[in-house]
Amino acid sequence: MPKLALLQLPASADRAENISRTEAAIREAAANGAQIVCTQELFTTLYFCREQDPEHFDLADELPGDITEHHCALAKELGIVIVASGFERRAPGLYHNTAWVVDADGSFLGLYRKMHIPQDPGFEEKFFFTPGDIGYKAWDTAFGKIGVLICWDQWYPEAARLTALQGAQILIYPTAIGWLPEEKPQLGEAQHCAWETVQRGHAVANSCYVAAINRVGTEGDTEFWGQSFVANHYGQVVARGSISDQQIIYADCDLDAIDEHRRMWPFFRDRRIDSYSNILKRWDD
């Protein structure tokens, strides 16, 4: 029964400070028995997508690279799986919002590039990120099979399903989502409810655990709402963070229960794959 740790942290404009704060949290989580430790989205930086500024491209890392090598050494030292999210420079003019997974023996398992890229006031991601082109991923790790998706991917049942169909027992979503001041009084509670509910639905529909790791603090006008959580295969929230506090959220994941649950709630067995061809259309005219 692996223990999951979600690192709900603030960020600063100082890259070294963000990396150091995250490493300290990783070490604390491991000391408290965590075996799979997950960062928020774009953990090395502030959420720079609040504005379209070409200088922010300088924040990107080559992946694999120094940051992943650091995590490989750290994972091996602590005997844990690390899931982290950052800004990838793939080639001149080609950038991705990317997560990586490192196994407990320090081996680098691979990358996932965010597939769904939003474009909204305060979330100017299409300016920075090319949509992912390496598909949906699930990896066998020392502590279970995990799939990784990123933030806006959270809203798409297709992404969760295709990752679960590769055998993922835990879906992990590094996230950076918050309220804008003009929306929070009227829509803030409803927005958070929608965000949590849709992911709990993915947990139910795919008989798996879902973990969403959000940041905290205010950056510019955006108030990140924290409340990182883990939901089990019934959609029950088994752990949740606060709205504003830096903290580590822990949850034990009973992976044997998932296998038993999938026998009794056979969603994969009863899928009518012969009837789903129109899902490949933008709209069923």
**CATH number of the domain bearing residue 134:** 3.60.110.10
Is residue 125 part of the annotated active site? The answer reads: no
Sheet-wide strand order for 138-141: 138-141, 144-148, 170-174, 209-213, 229-231, 237-240
For the chain, residues with pLDDT lower than 70 are none
Choosing from 38, 88, 114, 219, which is the catalytic residue? Answer: 114
State the pLDDT at residue 284.
85
Residue 31 inside a domain? The answer is yes
114 in active site:
yes
Evaluate whether residue 140 is within a structural domain: yes
Residue 37, domain member (yes or no): yes
Q: By residue range, what is the domain housing residue 116?
A: 3-263
Cβ distance 36 to 211 under 8 Å?
Answer: no
Gyration radius of the chain's alpha carbons: 18
Is residue 283 in some structural domain?
no
The answer as to whether 99 is a domain residue is yes
Domain count, the chain: 1
Whether 197 maps to a domain, the answer reads yes
Given 38, 49, 72, 151, which residue is catalytic? 151
User: What is the per-residue pLDDT for 285?
Assistant: 82
Q: Is residue 272 in some structural domain?
A: no
Is 271 strand, coil or helix?
Answer: coil
Instruction: Read off the tokens for 95.
Output: 């950038």
Look at residue 209 and tell me if it is in a domain: yes
Cβ atoms of residues 106 and 96 within 8 Å: no
For position 37, what pLDDT does the model report?
98
Q: Of the residues 41, 88, 125, 196, which is catalytic?
A: 41
Backbone angles phi, psi at 76, to 5 degrees: -65, -45
Look up 184 and say whether it is catalytic.
no
Mark 79-88 as b/e (b = at least 16 C-beta within 10 Å): ebbbbbbbbb
